[in-house]
Structure 1
C-alpha cells in the first residue's frame, strides 16, 4: 500500500469544540461524510495544547488528487463545509498536505502528537534540511522505550517547497521536552536544524475517528 498524503487543517475552534474536543456526536457529521469519500483513509482531530482556541483536523488520503476531487465536487463538498462549522471556522483555516516518507499513524494516535515544521532559511539547502529531519526522525525512533517517544514520521509539504513537517507521537509533552534536553544526538540535530531553518512546534492531543 502506498504512503498517505495527510491534509493538515488548523482553524479557530468553535466554543462547543473547545468545551468538549473529544465529543463524537459533535464531530460525527463531519467525519461521517469524509468516511464515504473515495480515497479517504482515516481522520483525526484535536485542540492545540499551546493555544486551545485552535483546532486541528487531519485527514489521510490515498493521494492529493482524491482530496482535490472532493473539493471540486459540487454535490458532496457544500454539505461538508456546512457541518464542519460545528468544529471550526472553515473560512479562517490554514491548510497544508504532508507527503509522508513512512507510515505516520502511530505518531498520530499517541497520547499527544508533536507537529514540528521546518522552513528553510534563504540560501540553505533543501536536501540538507530533509536529511537532517530524516536523521532526527530516526533518532527519535531509536530512543529507549522509556523516553516517551511513541513514533516519528516526516515528509515534505506539498504547498510549501521550502517546508517539511515532522510528526512525533509522545506519551506526554513533558517527555518531549525532557528528551530534547538530555539526548545529545537529538540536541545536536535540533541545533543543526536551527542553523538552516525556522522551527515551529505545537502539541495536539488527537482523537482518531473510528
Structure 2
C-alpha cells in the first residue's frame, strides 16, 4: 500500500453560508488546492452533529513538506481568500500522520477525538493500547500525534451510523477513565443527546465525489 499521507485537519467556527451550502462555499478554494503538487483528493468536510456552528475540513497531503510548500508560495494568499466565506470565527489547524491509512474518513459518520498526554513517559504504553484498538476496529479507528505537538494525539473513527458511533464512544469513555493519569481529553458528559467526548460529523457524499 502507498505511504501513509499527512492529514490536515481544520476545525473552524463556521459561517452561516458554510452551514447552508458547504459545496458552494469551499469549492473555489479547493479548485485551487487540487492543482497543488502533493495534494491527495478527495477533501472531506462537514459540520459537528452536536454543534453545527463547528465545522471540519480534512484533506491529505503526500507529505508535510508539500503542504508547507503551498503555504510558502505566493498563491497561498488566494487559497486563504477563497476560504474566507467558510469562516465565522477562529479556527485550529492540525497535521497528523496516522498509524494506518485514514480509511475511517470514507464512512458516513466520523468521530474526531483530541487527547493530550499528561506524562510523556507513558507515550509508548498509550500508543500500544491505541494500536490494539486500531486492530480490533479493523482500522476504522486510527491515531497519531500532531506534528505541531507530539504530546497531542488525534484519534479518528469512521462508523456506519451515529448509533454505532455512540456505542464506540461509550467504550472509549471507559478507556479514558482508566487513562486519567496518562491523558487529558476534550469532551462533554456522555449522554444520548450530547454524547461526544470529541467531535462527530456527517460527511456529505457530494463533497467527496465532487472534489475528486
**Does the TM-score normalized on the shorter chain lie above 0.5?**
yes
Q: Take 2:135 and 2:166, find their aligned partners in 1: how far apart are those partners?
A: 18
Q: 2:20 aligns to what?
A: 19
Q: Alignment partner of 2:30: what SS?
A: helix
- Deviation for aligned residue 1:70: 0.5
Q: 136, 139, 160: which is aligned to 2:136?
A: 139
- Deviation for aligned residue 1:94: 0.6
Q: Do residues 199 (structure 1) and 185 (structure 2) align? A: yes
**Which 5+ residue runs of structure 1 have no aligned equivalent?**
143-150
Q: 1:5 aligns to what?
A: 6
Write the deviation string for residues 162-205 of structure 1: whole angstroms up to 9, x where unpaired. 11111110112221222454x6xx67644433442122311021
Structure 2 CA distance for partners of 1:86 and 1:194, relative to 1, 3 Å:
same
Q: Do residues 32 (structure 1) and 31 (structure 2) align? A: yes
Structure 2 CA distance for partners of 1:196 and 1:62, relative to 1, 3 Å:
same
Contact 2:6/2:60 (<8 A) preserved: yes
Q: Alignment partner of 1:60: what SS?
A: strand
- Deviation for aligned residue 1:38: 0.5
**Which 5+ residue runs of structure 2 have no aligned equivalent?**
187-197
Q: Alignment partner of 2:137: what SS?
A: helix
Q: How many residues align?
A: 194
Structure 2 CA distance for partners of 1:39 and 1:123, relative to 1, 3 Å:
closer
Q: Alignment partner of 2:110: what SS?
A: strand
Q: Alignment partner of 2:179: what SS?
A: helix
Q: Take 1:122 and 1:187, find their aligned partners in 2: how far apart are those partners?
A: 20
Q: Take 2:99 and 2:120, find their aligned partners in 1: how far apart are those partners?
A: 25
Contact 2:25/2:83 (<8 A) preserved: no
Q: Take 1:134 and 1:194, find their aligned partners in 2: how far apart are those partners?
A: 18
Contact 2:109/2:165 (<8 A) preserved: no
Give the superposed CA RMSD: 2.1
- Deviation for aligned residue 1:126: 1.2
